[in-house]
Amino acid sequence: ETGVTQTPRHLVMGMTNKKSLKCEQHLGHNAMYWYKQSAKKPLELMFVYNFKEQTENNSVPSRFSPECPNSSHLFLHLHTLQPEDSALYLCASSQRGGLGTEAFFGQGTRLTVV
Amino acid sequence: DAKTTQPPSMDCAEGRAANLPCNHSTISGNEYVYWYRQIHSQGPQYIIHGLKNNETNEMASLIITEDRKSSTLILPHATLRDTAVYYCIAPSLIQGAQKLVFGQGTRLTINP
């Protein structure tokens, strides 16, 4: 248990569906991240939020829409996804303010697009 | 981020020390070296980090060379549960938040 909780753990959705992934942390962290991990590939950084402000969008397609209403919650809204978007989506959080603080990861949401 | 280079895979016998190397020759003076691991299909787990000095915690030891161009993660008594992909990262900052970029890592297999 890392203190970072992701829901749902598994999600199957059709290409025309709209769904949302949720990430929650009560560690007092103020930086939150979304990563994508496709099969047998390294983690790809998607978005970084700092005090609710998006500071990094790593050329992610607009069918992925992040939302950070407060420092404890992070959402990833999904719409009109493609089968190649099937992957493990991981959320992480860390304390802003320096390079000497570790990140904590959730267990991920396994997404399958059919 | 400073680029890091790790061997793609390593094997180690159970009960022995596992020594995982990492090269980071372009690391800048204020960038830490972090190690994470990912056990199959789980979220990455933080192991240890350091700047200049060697570090030790309950999980591992981190040895950083004096010129900071390379480091070694040591798991002193490897168990089967240590089988995982190990990532060496030297994150930079984006407006105060760490930018953790993961490479391919080293797939460590602990053999009975």
Distance in Å, alpha carbon of B75 to nearest chain A alpha carbon = 19
Q: Looking at chain A, which residue has its C-alpha nearest residue B44?
A: A105
Yes or no, beta carbons of B96 and A96 under 8 Å apart: yes
Going by C-alpha positions, the residue among B93, B73, B6, B103 that lies closest to residue A31 is B93
Across A38-42, A71-75, A102-106, B32-36, least confident range = A38-42
Q: Does A1 touch chain B (CB under 8 A)?
A: no
Half-sphere exposure of B97 (CA within 13 A, CB side): 23
Yes or no, beta carbons of B41 and A106 under 8 Å apart: no
pLDDT surpassing 70 at residue A97: no
* Cα A83-B40-B63 angle, rounded to 5 deg: 125
Q: Does A104 touch chain B (CB under 8 A)?
A: yes
Yes or no, beta carbons of A56 and B99 under 8 Å apart: yes
Mean pLDDT per 10-residue section of chain B, whose length is 112 residues:
89 97 90 93 93 94 96 97 96 79 94 96
pLDDT of the residue at B1: 63
Confidence of residue A99 (pLDDT cuts 50, 70, 90): low
Contacts of A100 in chain B (CB under 8 A): 32, 49, 51
Yes or no, beta carbons of B105 and A42 under 8 Å apart: yes
Q: Using one digit for the tens of pLDDT, what is the confidence trace for A2-61?
A: 799 999 999 999 999 999 999 999 899 988 999 999 988 889 999 988 877 777 777 899
Chain center to CA of B19: 10
Please state, as a whole number, how many other Cβ atoms lie within 10 Å of the Cβ of residue A84.
8
pLDDT of the residue at B78: 96
Distance in Å, alpha carbon of A20 to nearest chain B alpha carbon = 19
Residue B102 to residue B100: CA distance in whole angstroms: 6
Residue B3 to residue A94: CA distance in whole angstroms: 21
List the structure tokens of A110.
Answer: 């396994």
Going by C-alpha positions, the residue among B74, B67, B82, B72 that lies closest to residue B21 is B72
pLDDT surpassing 70 at residue A98: no
| Residue type (1 letter), A19 | K
